[in-house]
């Protein structure tokens, strides 16, 4: 049974001026980790169809905000993909939202549960792409995937995750299940705010 962990980065974000002109997310990198083979592959816009095929062949997909963002990015390249990937996806952000009513950042979850967070950079991933910093961008994206996998494993082993809720530290019980969580899309709310 193939379980994959994935994350996408885009060249423009909804609050950036260039996105407001284009009104779409343009993929800059999509990294996929196969938990069985321990292989990590990064895909770019020119080979994104291959990445989508790999995801379609998976039994399960893990990611943070994948139902609200990443799958919608991929939908720009293969319309209808959201409905095909969502049923076999565990979105760690939506899982925790369903339990607490709050969204938690991957970086904060990583720091509090596995001892490390996202790759630190003074430049956002979208700017890395536009500045031609492709190796750093791939490294940044791969770190997010590793972090999400380690977070999943920590929750699986400990049966809880530590979260900070208004600076109060709480332990949230987790039993990772692959089912349809509400499709709460941060992308859509950000688009509305960006106007």
CATH code of residue 98: 3.30.420.10
Give the whole-angstrom CA distance, residue 66 versus residue 64.
5
Residues of the chain above pLDDT 90, percent: 53
In a domain, 186, yes or no: no
Torsion sign over Cα 192, 45, 144, 132:
negative
Q: What is the pLDDT of residue 121?
A: 76
pTM over 0.85: no
Interval 30-86: pLDDT, tens: 999 999 888 999 999 899 999 999 999 999 999 999 998 899 889 989 999 999 999
Q: Take residue 88 and report the two structure tokens written for it.
A: 């076999």
Q: Take residue 46 and report the two structure tokens written for it.
A: 């020119």
Q: Check: CB of residue 27 under 8 Å from CB of residue 72.
A: no
Torsion sign over Cα 103, 138, 193, 67:
negative
In a domain, 188, yes or no: no
In a domain, 184, yes or no: no
In a domain, 45, yes or no: yes
In a domain, 110, yes or no: yes
In a domain, 191, yes or no: no
pLDDT reading at 179 higher than 70: no
Q: Which residue has the tokens 């407001």?
A: 20
In a domain, 121, yes or no: yes
Q: CA 129 → CA 22, 65, 68, 138, 143, distances in Å?
A: 16, 21, 22, 10, 16
Give the residue numbers spanning the domain of 26. 3-179
In a domain, 138, yes or no: yes
Number of domains in the chain: 1
Q: What is the pLDDT of residue 149?
A: 94
């Amino acid at each position: 049974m193939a379980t994959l962990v994935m994350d996408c980065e885009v060249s423009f974000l909804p609050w950036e001026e260039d996105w407001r002109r284009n009104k779409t997310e343009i993929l800059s990198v999509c990294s996929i980790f196969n938990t069985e083979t321990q292989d990590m592959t990064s895909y770019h816009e020119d080979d994104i169809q291959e990445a989508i095929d790999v995801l379609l062949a998976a039994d399960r997909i893990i990611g943070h905000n994948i139902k609200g963002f990443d799958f919608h990015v991929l939908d720009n390249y293969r319309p209808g993909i959201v409905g095909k990937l969502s049923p076999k996806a565990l979105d760690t952000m939506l899982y925790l939202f369903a339990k607490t009513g709050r969204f938690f950042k991957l970086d904060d979850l990583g720091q509090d549960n596995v001892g490390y967070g996202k790759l630190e950079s003074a430049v956002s991933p979208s700017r890395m792409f536009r500045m031609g910093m492709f190796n750093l961008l791939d490294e940044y994206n791969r770190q997010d995937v590793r972090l999400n996998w380690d977070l999943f494993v920590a929750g699986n082993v400990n049966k809880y995750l530590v979260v900070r809720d208004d600076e109060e530290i709480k332990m949230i019980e987790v039993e990772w299940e692959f089912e349809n969580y509400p499709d709460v899309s941060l992308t859509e709310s950000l688009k509305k705010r960006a106007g």
